[in-house]
Chains A and B, each alone.
Chain A
Amino acid sequence: MMRMVFVLGMLSLVLVPRAYAHKPSDSYLTLDARGDGAIRGHWDIALRDLDADLTLDANGDGVLRWAEVMAREPALIAHAARHLTLTRSDAACTLSLADADPLTLVAHSDGRYARLSLTARCDAHAGALQVRYGLFFARDAQHRGIVQHAESESPPCVLTTSSPRCALHEDAPPGVAAMIESGVVHIVTGYDHVLFLLAMMLPLLRARSGAEPRAKRTLTEVAKLVTAFTLAHSLTLGLAALGVVRMSASVIEPAIAASVALAALDVLWPFLGAARWSVAFALGLLHGFGFASVLGDLGLSGAPLVRALLGFNLGVELGQLGLVLLFVPIGLAAVSRRVTRGLLLHGGSASIALLSLVWLVQRVRGE
């Protein structure tokens, strides 16, 4: 706080303190834009500010009563509506204030605000929601319209007289739980990733001579393999999702298919060598780029993106772990019997190889 000495005319003193009773004027707009084009929300506007624009205090005594507000309710609502425009993809949205629900009052730190319920319908169903705001700017250069997307963790838009527009994302970014689920689903249904991993694991199930029991050695090898794959795809997923490295899908998708083919062919005609985990790492780098497209579609940035990334990666690893835990015992059981071993190792890898080659051709052709 600073004292400020004003010298006016005949040296009368006016002190302008810098610590204030309240904060300057704000209004709060909370919007919830759903995919079906319908927008809901509410707009909190200070009664004090509405009075300054509309003279709600009819008898001018400085005390605003509910009756005085009720008397001007329609004018108040119309006034607010005139200063807010919502558009999507350059097409206007129709806006209704205090239509579905009547006007209510809500307490903020600097007094009571009128809360106007908001519904809007936009012609366009896709594209970011554009907000254009102009309430009170003509009278108060320090007024701010604070626009927040409900359930969103993105920072709010702070609209000022010099910057009265902002764009809101159509969909609120998914929560962490949703992202974990998304990761699990993605890897379980991501056949190319799953098949790559399985194909890489198959040779580990082959009978080997040695002092250690097969299961334990197999599990160790599987663990190394899976870990290498996990680290690799986590790395590239992170780099791609955060925008550090970019790879075009038209390069990545065929490359992933090729990696599956390689892994499968290696089962039939071993050429990748003993250190499978290093190959798993190298090829795993490609797979991470494949996952990243899911996060790219969300259009997030900053902390919400990092959160989504971590959740998604966790989901991928959980799904992967589940699949491995499922497959390894079955695989071990299968290779212990001659008939099923042949089926699994030769038949299985051949099928995978064939499938992946089909993918490869498809993806190169851009299908």
Chain B
Amino acid sequence: MFAAVACTLFVAAEPATRAAERPSDPEEVVAHVPARESPTQRRIAQLAEAAANAPNDASRAVALARAHVEASRADGDPRHLGEAEAVLARFVRSDAAPEVRILHATLLQARHAFPEALRELDRALAARPGDPQALLTRATVLTVRGAYREARASCEALRGRVTEAIGVGCHAPIDALQGRYAEARAALDRALAFTRTQGEQALLLSLRGEQAYWHGDLTDAEASLKDALALDPSDRYTRALYADLLLDAARPDEVAPLVRAHLADDALALRDALAAVALGADDAPAKVARLASGFAESRLRGDAVHQREEARLWLAQPGAEAAQHALTRARESWGVQHEPWDARVVLEAALRADRPEAAREVRAWLAETGFEAERLQTFRARLQMREAENKP
């Protein structure tokens, strides 16, 4: 069963083998598309008309592109981001306005083009120093890249330009990972006490839960993440975090109800599949295969944004070959970004594939950065032991 599933991970999408038919019923629903009557689409139509009337006006293009980005956030469809990029395309030049660059940077980071995103942000900040959006985006990208010192610099520059919640949200995650957990936690709690808006509250709670998770305090993390989701059920990121917690706490049976209504989202479909595998469910191979073919299609089109998810999918499958694949994908992911999960999949895969030397770079980085996360400790310790054992 798993071998068959493993094979599908090699096979690219094969259009020729699909069944093609001409529907017989005219009323048959053949697709769901953005409803033109919806507020989002009406707004987009208005802004598109305005932009068409003044094709050289960058601010109109930026407004339209932002509306597309908003649509993407609402329905989770990345096509809107491509549309936003197309709208901005003619304004992305050597003399582009800062607002164009900042939005362009957001789109670039969305497809993991981090160095390009940072370049755009640096140019935007050169023209408009202290722009809060640029600084915040920059801090976030740098955090993802694991460039903590530079990220902190951007967070520092944000002080006084943004609300306390956002300011804390910038540096607290870095503090928590670099051995200043208590301090970070206190800062988050303080900000939570003072914040007014629901959106900021949900964000802070989610950050608090995420920190607690990596720190190893799963009960505390669960409480925070639950509260965050209660405030903002549409937050798929927090939902995925919660699912990861449940998987770690050996409670895979609780994952399905959590993610059931959101399976259109690949990140949540992944957690659903991982839970199904953990439970030994009958539909586990089908779920894994569906995700695998989705990742294969992504690869086919030349995107490289799912390596971490692919690695986790491989890790859920038995066998040395699966472990090898997991390790390859994990290292690819690490090449692009240095989030805690990226470190974790490399460590896990290196252990599973019995190649402790493959995790050396990650372990060195973790040591160098003063990275402290209980969730990673066992892996680090076991790898150290394994490597010592392997030495002649």
B-contacting residues of A (Cβ < 8 Å)? 1-8, 11-26, 28, 30, 42, 44, 47-49, 51-52, 55-57, 60-67, 69-70, 102-109, 111-112, 115, 137-144, 146, 148, 150, 156, 158, 160-161
Bound Cα distance from A5 to B12, whole angstroms: 35
| Given A48-B79, A60-B35, A23-B297 contact (CB < 8 Å) | yes
Number of interface residues of B (CB under 8 A): 80
Closest B residue to A143 using CB positions? B82
Bound Cα distance from A111 to B33, whole angstroms: 10
**Is B81 engaged at the interface, CB distance under 8 Å to the other chain?**
yes
Q: Are A108 and B13 in contact (CB under 8 A)?
A: yes
**Is B368 engaged at the interface, CB distance under 8 Å to the other chain?**
no
Q: Which of these, A13, A19, A47, A146, contacts B301 with CB under 8 Å?
A: A146
Closest CB in chain B relative to A22 CB, distance in Å: 6
Q: Are B237 and A16 in contact (CB under 8 A)?
A: no
| Given A65-B26, A109-B293, A138-B86, A23-B235 contact (CB < 8 Å) | no
Q: Which of these, A3, A7, A42, A112, contacts B132 with CB under 8 Å?
A: A7
Bound Cα distance from A49 to B78, whole angstroms: 12
Closest A residue to B89 using CB positions? A141
- Residues of B near A141 (CB, < 8 A) are 82-83, 85-86, 89
Q: Which of the candidate stretches B105-113, B122-130, B322-330, B359-367 sits at the interface with the other chain?
A: B105-113
Enumerate 21 A-B pairs (CB-CB under 8 Å) in ascending A order. Answer: A1-B267, A2-B144, A4-B106, A6-B69, A15-B73, A16-B106, A19-B236, A22-B79, A52-B79, A52-B83, A60-B35, A64-B30, A64-B33, A65-B27, A67-B26, A70-B26, A109-B290, A140-B82, A146-B300, A150-B16, A156-B12
Closest A residue to B265 using CB positions? A21
**A-B contacts besides A5-B169, A15-B235, A28-B15, 13 pairs, CB < 8 Å:** A2-B144, A4-B110, A11-B163, A17-B73, A17-B237, A18-B109, A26-B297, A30-B16, A62-B32, A62-B35, A65-B28, A104-B21, A109-B290
Closest CB in chain A relative to B242 CB, distance in Å: 13
- Residues of A near B28 (CB, < 8 A) are 65-66
- Residues of B near A69 (CB, < 8 A) are 30
Q: Are A15 and B237 in contact (CB under 8 A)?
A: yes
Q: Which of the candidate stretches B133-141, B175-183, B375-383 sits at the interface with the other chain?
A: B133-141
Closest A residue to B144 using CB positions? A2
Bound Cα distance from A61 to B13, whole angstroms: 31
Bound Cα distance from A112 to B197, whole angstroms: 40
| Given A142-B82, A143-B82, A105-B32 contact (CB < 8 Å) | no
Bound Cα distance from A140 to B89, whole angstroms: 10
Q: Are B303 and A24 in contact (CB under 8 A)?
A: yes
Closest CB in chain A relative to B238 CB, distance in Å: 8
Residue-by-residue, is B177-221 near A (CB-CB < 8 Å gives 1, otherwise 0)?
A: 000000000000000000001011001001000000000000000
